[in-house]
Amino acid sequence: MAEENQNPLPAQPNPERKTLDDRAKMTELERIRHSCAHVMATAILRLWPDAQFAYGPPVENGFYYDMELSHRIAPEDFEKIEAEMKKEIKANNTFEKLVVTRDQAIKDAESGRLGGLAERPGNASKFKLDLLKQIPEGEPISYYKNGDFIDLCAGPHVMRTGNVGAFKLTSVASAYYKGDEKNPQLQRIYGTAFKNKTEMEAYFTMIEEAKRRDHRKIGAEMGLFALDTEYVGPGMPLWLPKGTVLVEELEKLAKETEFAAGYVRVRTPHLAKEKMYKTSGHLPYYAESMFPAIEVNEKGGTAAEGVEAERYYLKAMNCPHHHRIFAAEPKSYRDLPLRLAEYGCCYRYEQSGELFGLMRVRSLNMNDAHIYCTEDQFAAEFKAVNDMYLKYFKIFGLDKYQMRFSTHDPAKLGQKFVNEPELWKKTEDMVRKVLVESGINFVEVANEAAFYGPKIDVQVWSAIGREFTIATNQVDFAVPAKFGLTYRDKDNSNKTPLCIHRAPLGTHERFIGFLIEHYAGNFPLWLAPDQVRVLTLNDDASLIDYAQPIVNELRANQVRVDADFSATPFKAKIADAEKTRVHTMLVIGGRDMEGGNVSVRLHHGGPQGAKPKAQVIAEILAAIKERKA
């Protein structure tokens, strides 16, 4: 049931109320950003004193504050709001914490004082009154005050408004209070804040560069994929020939790597009976993320006659099918570890509003595998999986990565986490030990494990420093038992194996979306859809006679090569090859021909000089084989 993390996108779910524990964990940057939301509210109230504020949390890359206000805020208003914010920062007011009784808080909210600069008779702080109701009995109620602004808030904040080093308002949107369309529609202003100006400028440069590298834009320029919502459906990309090259090169890499690591390959259908997903636990808990059932009535008769149609579901994950493969033949300890791999195609019913290019889709091809092993084998298997991630990072030049190790909370055994205290402890200890011993960069987060075992989310940073979660690696000690999977141990007893779910290359969709941005479409030779183009200086017959065998030889060696022997001016030929992002251009003129040479030119790399023909071909083949960066 590996929960493939498709995407953390700018779209923010409406916040659940943070617990005091969550709040204590807020990073310094989050405190700066949340404090900046208070500064923004202060500024807005100076301009529009009747504004009513609701939620104002920090979010990925910034903060927002939701408010009700008769004036419709437009980006043209940002400048004057920012000017007021600067005054508040310059005043360097302390964020003062005041603990109050519930009665006092209700009184202040009724007077309009909360989320205001002063009491506002006839304009009660209605959202704050509602938020007060959500604070559990017994939990302290606190205000934070900067200058005249008092807000109902549990904190934490930075010490003073002056600690907000740099900020910028970025956008305005509408949002329903608490994300519920039955509630009033509010205005949401987004902004971001940083410790200092330098960090903020670096961030905006990165955002600009990310826009330039947008996978949808480059995907269209290069002819990699198409989204045909009219005939195929939303969120189901069609891979065009050049995108298919990327898909198949990644599969080749995965298949070679997995073969070398002792995996075996399997293939499974795209759908299964309802019983499968009831057993796995996807139904009913995951039902809304699955396409609705396909009903098949093979027996004839109708529901009125008491004949029930059989229900099939498109698979949202590959694990249940793999479990049935494990169960298809009796197993003994000698069969373990058993590593079943498949580039499985799954379907998820993502909300249409959340679909986004290749990053969030409804059909996804996953670099999936399930490793069934004994407890004794677990540590070595888990380490091998991590080593595989590291190997891939190296190939793709990902120098910065982090593994986020999520563990359980003993207080929530039997509710949020399967009630196996011993196994939790044992597997978490083993995972931690492997991570520490391999010197892997990781952070540990309590209370975020999957229901059935600890998990690791793998975050990587692209060449321009943007963060992506690309893959999840999970331990599962509950679901194999639900499917009744057993192996016969040395002592002739039947035991349940542990299962590791892993997908280092994530899904083709998301991973290729990531790689397009990472490389800005300028893929390394082994991955480039257009690897080599042979260009003659002109259409002279002797040049073509010399060049054609080079094309033939490369093609015979599986190189994606084409030729441009036309009479088009040479500059234009080069410009066209550069625009197509052909990785290596082999240029042939009279002097090259006489010397038995070719002149090499690299996309974005310019001329590399002339070399003997045979040497150039050998170097190209070697670079592809080694998957040179």
Q: Is the Cβ of residue 144 or residue 487 nearer to Zn ion in the bound state?
A: 144
Of 402, 565, 417, 557, which is closest to residue 478 (Cα–Cα)? 417
Q: Is the Cβ of residue 367 or residue 459 nearer to Zn ion in the bound state?
A: 367
The answer to whether the CB of 54 falls within 8 A of the CB of 127 is yes
For residue 507, count CB atoms less than 10 angstroms from its CB and return exposed for 0-12, middle for 13-18, buried for 19 or more.
Answer: buried
- For 87, 165, 176, 380, the CA distances from 430, given in Å and listed in that order, are 53, 42, 45, 10
Structure tokens at 344: 């499985």
Dist CA 600 CA 584 (whole Å): 7
Q: List strand residue ranges (DSSP E) for 320-393, in order.
A: 338-347, 363-373
CB of 444 to Zn ion, least distance (A): 22
The answer to whether the CB of 114 falls within 8 A of the CB of 128 is yes
Q: Is the Cβ of residue 58 or residue 357 nearer to Zn ion in the bound state?
A: 58
47 Cβ neighbours under 8 A, 6+ residues apart: 80, 81, 84
CB of 367 to Zn ion, least distance (A): 11
Q: Is the Cβ of residue 55 or residue 144 nearer to Zn ion in the bound state?
A: 144
Q: Is the Cβ of residue 213 or residue 322 nearer to Zn ion in the bound state?
A: 322
CB of 2 to Zn ion, least distance (A): 3
Dist CA 603 CA 620 (whole Å): 14
CB of 153 to Zn ion, least distance (A): 3
Structure tokens at 530: 């257009």
Q: Is the Cβ of residue 193 or residue 319 nearer to Zn ion in the bound state?
A: 319
Q: Is the Cβ of residue 501 or residue 611 nearer to Zn ion in the bound state?
A: 501
Q: Is the Cβ of residue 485 or residue 616 nearer to Zn ion in the bound state?
A: 485
3-state SS, 184-205, equals: CEEEEEEEEEECCHHHHHHHHH
- For 4, 389, 500, the CA distances from 386, given in Å and listed in that order, are 17, 5, 12
Q: Is the Cβ of residue 321 or residue 533 nearer to Zn ion in the bound state?
A: 321
Q: Is the Cβ of residue 36 or residue 554 nearer to Zn ion in the bound state?
A: 36
Q: Is the Cβ of residue 356 or residue 511 nearer to Zn ion in the bound state?
A: 511
The answer to whether the CB of 34 falls within 8 A of the CB of 58 is yes
Dist CA 463 CA 517 (whole Å): 8
**What is the edge-to-edge ordering of all strands in the sheet holding 149-152?**
96-100, 141-146, 149-152
Length of the chain: 629
CB of 480 to Zn ion, least distance (A): 11
Helix (H, G, I), strand (E, B) or coil at 121: coil
How many of the other CB atoms lie within 10 Å of CB of 102?
14
Label residue 390 left, alpha or beta by phi (over 0 means left) and psi (-120 to 50 means alpha). Answer: alpha
CB of 44 to Zn ion, least distance (A): 15
> Residue 54 CA to chain centroid, in angstroms?
29
CB of 205 to Zn ion, least distance (A): 29
Q: Is the Cβ of residue 2 or residue 169 nearer to Zn ion in the bound state?
A: 2
> b/e map of 450-461 (b: 16 or more CB within 10 Å)?
bbbbbbbbbbbe
For residue 365, count CB atoms less than 10 angstroms from its CB and return exposed for 0-12, middle for 13-18, buried for 19 or more.
Answer: buried
Beta bridge partners of 187: 67, 174
CB of 154 to Zn ion, least distance (A): 7
Residues that bind Zn ion (CB under 5 A): 2, 144, 153, 319, 501
Q: Is the Cβ of residue 153 or residue 189 nearer to Zn ion in the bound state?
A: 153
**Relative orientation angle of helices 215-222 and 508-519, to the nearest 10 degrees:** 90
CB of 92 to Zn ion, least distance (A): 17
Structure tokens at 142: 């606190």
CB of 296 to Zn ion, least distance (A): 26
CB of 412 to Zn ion, least distance (A): 23
Q: Is the Cβ of residue 188 or residue 501 nearer to Zn ion in the bound state?
A: 501
Q: Is the Cβ of residue 265 or residue 591 nearer to Zn ion in the bound state?
A: 265
The answer to whether the CB of 601 falls within 8 A of the CB of 533 is no
Dist CA 280 CA 454 (whole Å): 17
CB of 269 to Zn ion, least distance (A): 16
Q: Is the Cβ of residue 337 or residue 529 nearer to Zn ion in the bound state?
A: 337
Between vectors from CA 333 to CA 331 and to CA 336, what angle results, nearest 5°? Answer: 85
Say which residue the tokens 């529901």 belong to: 303
Structure tokens at 610: 């002339």
CB of 69 to Zn ion, least distance (A): 19
CB of 1 to Zn ion, least distance (A): 6
CB of 213 to Zn ion, least distance (A): 31
CB of 364 to Zn ion, least distance (A): 13
Q: H-helix or E-strand containing 90?
A: helix 78-91
